[in-house]
Structure 1
Amino acid sequence: MGYKFTSGKEKNHLILAWAYTEPIFSIWWFGSELFFILLYLLHFTEGSIVPGTNVGLIRLSFMAMLPIFVVRTLIGFAQIVSATIRLAKFDAKAKQ
């Protein structure tokens, strides 16, 4: 992928697994995008009622994509924290 998520001995294994495993990356990306599409559609309609659940198809799909969106958001937060720590260490080292 070309991204560098490591700095010397420091590694964030969650970010490495997410970024360098193509199927996992694709599922998280697609699920997150689908989450927002379904959120938009949910504003206008519930969709057809799924038998036995009494819930619309769009709402049911939205609820299924919610965990994927949450995990992807947490991984993004971990990336920001990791980058901030590395940048702070780099700045501290440059000031010495």
Structure 2
Amino acid sequence: MSENIFLFVPNLIGYGRIILAIISFYYMPTSPGLAAGSYILSGFLDAFDGHAARMLNQGTKFGAMLDQLTDRCGTMCLLVTLGHFYPKYMFLFQMSMAIDISCHWLHLHTSVMAGQASHKSEAANCNALLRFYYTSRPMLFFMCSGNELFYASLYLLHFTEGPIIAGMGLWRAMAYGLLPVGIFKSFLALMQGYYAALSLGAIDVQERKEAAAKKE
């Protein structure tokens, strides 16, 4: 009997992440506590689906795509809300969305075309900084969680300053402190897009050479 990969434990966790994300989207305009809690929990479970996939040997291409799409769509929808809450910075949120979606998509698509097992593998990342980013789990966790907490703190700051610590609200302090993480995360995404474009161009050149050779 063939395996039903859609019922693998990591994918079940992925479905749970999607449900939590949808709950957070629905309550974002009116219920910051419920929305933020659901959003952060959805992101936190991201670490568990990967761990389950490795522990249970249930890593699948479907699961990797589900994980990637949940991450990208979750961040995008939160940024849409932030653009509404902070119209003065709408352009910056739009650019963040554009960079995040386009560069990740290009990197993932190029990795598949190049025959790489994963867009996170060393072979799929020729740049040393990107290799370290994807192969160092502490680095990847810090950057991804820090980026999401930066946006989450901006979201919560729209409603309240939060607990006052050393004369400053917690959400404002987190937003200031994690701003460099958000900027660096976008920089890494741009690097992904740049090197993916170079790799895709190399694939085009090779395919054109092979096509020309066949005509001869």
In the alignment, which of 71, 86, 94 is matched to residue 199 of structure 2? Answer: 86
Give the TM-score taking structure 2 as reference length: 0.39
Which of the pair is proportionally richer in helix? 2
Runs of 4+ with deviation above 6 angstroms: none
Answering whether residue 136 of structure 2 is matched by residue 21 of structure 1, we say yes
Q: Could you tell me which of 114, 123, 142 is aligned with 1:6?
A: 123
* Distance of 1:58 and 1:26 partners within structure 2: 20
Cα contact 1:48–1:57 (8 A) shared by 2: yes
- Pick the aligned partner of 2:151 from 36, 40, 45: 36
Distance of 1:80 and 1:42 partners within structure 2: 31
Unaligned stretches of 5+ in structure 1?
A: none
Q: TM-score, normalised by structure 1?
A: 0.84
Shift of 1:71: 1.0
Match for residue 59 of structure 1? 172
Gaps of 5+ in 2: 1-49, 51-117, 210-216
Following superposition, the deviation at residue 5 of structure 1 comes to 5.0
Aligned positions, number: 92
| Percentage of identical aligned residues | 28
User: 1: CA distance between counterparts of 2:141 and 2:163?
Assistant: 28
**1:45 Cα deviation after fit:** 1.4
My pick for the range that moved more, 17-26 or 85-94, is 85-94
